[in-house]
Amino acid sequence: MGPHALSDLAHRFGTPLYLYDLGTLDHAIQAYRHGLRAWPGPSLITYASKAWLSVPLVQLLVRRGIGFDVVSLGEMAIAQRGGASPSAIHVHGNNKSRELLSRAAGVGVHAIVVDNLHELEQILALKLPRPLALWLRLNPEQVPDTHAYRQTGHATSKFGLLWEEAQEAARRIAAAPHLRLTGLHAHIGSQFTQLNPLFRTLDRLVQLAAWVQKEGLGHIRYLSPGGGLGVPYHPQDPVTHLVAMVRQLASYAAQVWRTKMGASHPTLVLEPGRSLVARPGIALYTVGTIRHLPQGLRIVAVDGGMSDNIRPALYGARYTAALVDRPLAPPAGPAQVVGPLCESGDFLIESIPLPEARPGDVLAIPVSGAYHLSMASNYNGMLRPPVVLHAYGRLIMMQRRETPADLLRRDEPLPPVAD
Ligand code: LLP
């Protein structure tokens, strides 16, 4: 990474190790900015914090003018600790807690994105210090080409308001003196590459905006089709061009808006998670046990697994890998790359043509920056890996490795009365 050999970084910081390359992150942000030029009005990039959040990442993104989408008090606390202004925070989620709603309203977030009518009831019951801006999350009944667990815009999804529910919500908000309907949002899923469902989503959002304004129920100043743009993980995945995808999205949005709503454009808000942080991330592991089974199968065990990357087990996600010291050595047949955890589902790669590997070799898995560490667990008492930033040649620790003391911190000793 930059002038630093990956094997040196593995020895210096230990493995498993996650590295983030700032240049690659900046490149992705630029791709969004560039593509968004096809939108004639103002635009905003808000980072979907769930992809991976930490205080130093927030600091980096704040300096780059990026906003934040959060779904819990925890994400909101990290965003605020990193210096995100509440006015740059949107609050999402299909079952927001009362504490989250009242804290979000209390600190003055930019908007709470109403997901269902029950939540709206709770918002109506809040004692608000100032008028509160709300967006509606529409369920546009659109299904993108991705794993079923990542589809969120179909009619039976737990997320978002169906058309009539959205109309009902708009009416109730308009009738509440302290609430303002300022934006419309949808998010149909994640890791998809075909843009058509997103175009149909924009059609629905603009149709709803036209209805809201015709009925005099609000002034739509923000329009957001969410996030979800996919990235390639594996050599057989479709190649995606971020600038082109964002440009197509922005120019389609401009076209529908102009046709239905005229020349005054709202702020177009894109909400990327993965397409910003997946590619900057690389995971490094050290090879340990290697088993050669009679059937010709080779099982290569490394020191991390489903505790830092549950995606292969959960979605059948496919990755590629390389031995950092011999990336171009000829493959010695297929290998399964597994972790050390007590689960047969604990594998990182089900089958890959890997060169001859030896214990102590360092294995790199690229495209590891999104939804790995944010979904990490302490299963089997595993300690979550450190994260090091490569900032144009400099190395900066973003998160230290977890220690057994971290694992012990929440446990209370049993008092004698319990005997
Ligand atoms: N906006 C909302 C409201 C979301 O729920 C999400 C992701 C995003 C934006 C960002 O989507 P992205 O640009 O990252 O695709 N754990 C799964 C992904 C779950 C995504 C959840 N929502 C995975 O590892 O593939």
pLDDT of residue 129: 82
Could you tell me what percentage of the chain is helix, strand and coil, using 3-state DSSP and rounding each to the nearest 5?
Answer: 35, 25, 40
- The rounded Å distance from CA 411 to ligand 1 centre is 32
Domains of the chain, start order:
22-277 (3.20.20.10), 281-368+385-401 (2.40.37.10)
In whole angstroms, what is the distance from residue 277 CA to residue 28 CA?
8
E strand segments, 169-312: 179-185, 222-226, 267-270, 281-292, 298-302
Ligand 1 pocket, residue 172 CB under 6 Å: no
In whole angstroms, what is the distance from residue 77 CA to residue 81 CA?
6
In whole angstroms, what is the distance from residue 76 CA to residue 106 CA?
13
pLDDT of residue 58: 98
Chain mean pLDDT for the chain: 96
- The rounded Å distance from CA 390 to ligand 1 centre is 25
pLDDT of residue 419: 64
- The rounded Å distance from CA 227 to ligand 1 centre is 7
- The rounded Å distance from CA 129 to ligand 1 centre is 32
Q: Annotated catalytic residue: which of 148, 293, 328, 342?
A: 342
Q: What ligand 1 atom has the least distance to the C-alpha of 152?
A: 5
90-133 confidence digits (pLDDT tens): 999 999 999 999 999 999 999 999 999 999 999 999 998 889 99
**Ligand 1 site-directed mutation target among 184, 190, 201, 279, most atoms within 8 Å of CB:** 190
Ligand 1 pocket, residue 305 CB under 6 Å: no
In whole angstroms, what is the distance from residue 308 CA to residue 97 CA?
27
209: helix, coil or strand?
A: helix
352: helix, coil or strand?
A: strand
E strand segments, 92-150: 111-114, 132-137
Is the entire prediction scored with pTM above 0.75?
A: yes
Q: What ligand 1 atom has the least distance to the C-alpha of 271?
A: 9
Asked if 138 and 155 count as a contact pair (C-beta separation under 8 A), the reply is: no
- Total number of residues shown for the chain: 419
**Ligand 1 site-directed mutation target among 47, 50, 198, 229, most atoms within 8 Å of CB:** 50
Ligand 1 pocket, residue 271 CB under 6 Å: yes
- The rounded Å distance from CA 155 to ligand 1 centre is 18
Which residue type, as a one-letter code, is found at position 269?
Answer: V
- The list of the chain residues with pLDDT below 70 reads 418-419
CA contacts within 13 A on the Cβ side of 102:
7
Report the DSSP pairing between strands 67-70 and 89-91. Answer: parallel
Q: What ligand 1 atom has the least distance to the C-alpha of 190?
A: 15
Phi, psi of 314, rounded to the nearest 5 degrees: -85, -40
Residue 16 a catalytic site member: no
Q: What ligand 1 atom has the least distance to the C-alpha of 273?
A: 14
- Where would I find the H helices in 215-307? 242-261, 274-277
